[in-house]
Chain A
Amino acid sequence: SQTIHQWPATLVQPVGSPLSLECTVEGTSNPNLYWYRQAAGRGLQLLFYSVGIGQISSEVPQNLSASRPQDRQFILSSKKLLLSDSGFYLCAWGDLTAPGYGYTFGSGTRLTVV
Chain B
Amino acid sequence: AQTVTQSQPEMSVQEAETVTLSCTYDTSENNYYLFWYKQPPSRQMILVIRQEAYKQQNATENRFSVNFQKAAKSFSLKISDSQLGDTAMYFCAFGETSGSRLTFGEGTQLTVNP
Contacts and interface: CB of A to CB of B under 8 A. Distances in A.
Interface string B72-114: 0000000000000000010101011111111011110100000
Contacts of A94: 100-102
Contacts of B105: 43
A38 B39 CA distance: 12
Contacts, number: 62
A88 B52 CA distance: 30
Given A42-B106, A90-B45, A102-B50, A32 B101 contact: yes
Nearest to A49: B101
B95 A99 contact: yes
Contact of A43 (B50, B95, B107): B107
B85 to A, nearest CB: 18
Given A42-B107, A88-B43, A102-B47, A96 B35 contact: no
Interface residues of B, number: 25
A105 B102 contact: no
A61 interface: no
B64 interface: no
Interface in A28-71: 32, 34, 38, 41-44, 49
B100 A103 contact: yes
B24 to A, nearest CB: 15
B35 A105 contact: no
Interface of A: 32, 34, 38, 41-44, 49, 88, 90, 92, 94-96, 98-105, 107-108, 110
Given A43-B91, A99-B99, A102-B93, 10 more contacts: A32-B101, A94-B101, A94-B102, A96-B99, A99-B96, A99-B98, A102-B35, A103-B45, A105-B44, A107-B44
Interface of B: 33, 35, 37, 43-45, 47, 50, 52, 89, 91, 93, 95-102, 104-107, 109
23 contacts: A32-B99, A32-B101, A42-B106, A42-B107, A43-B104, A43-B106, A44-B91, A94-B100, A94-B102, A95-B100, A98-B100, A99-B98, A99-B99, A100-B52, A100-B95, A100-B97, A101-B50, A102-B50, A102-B93, A102-B100, A103-B102, A105-B45, A108-B44
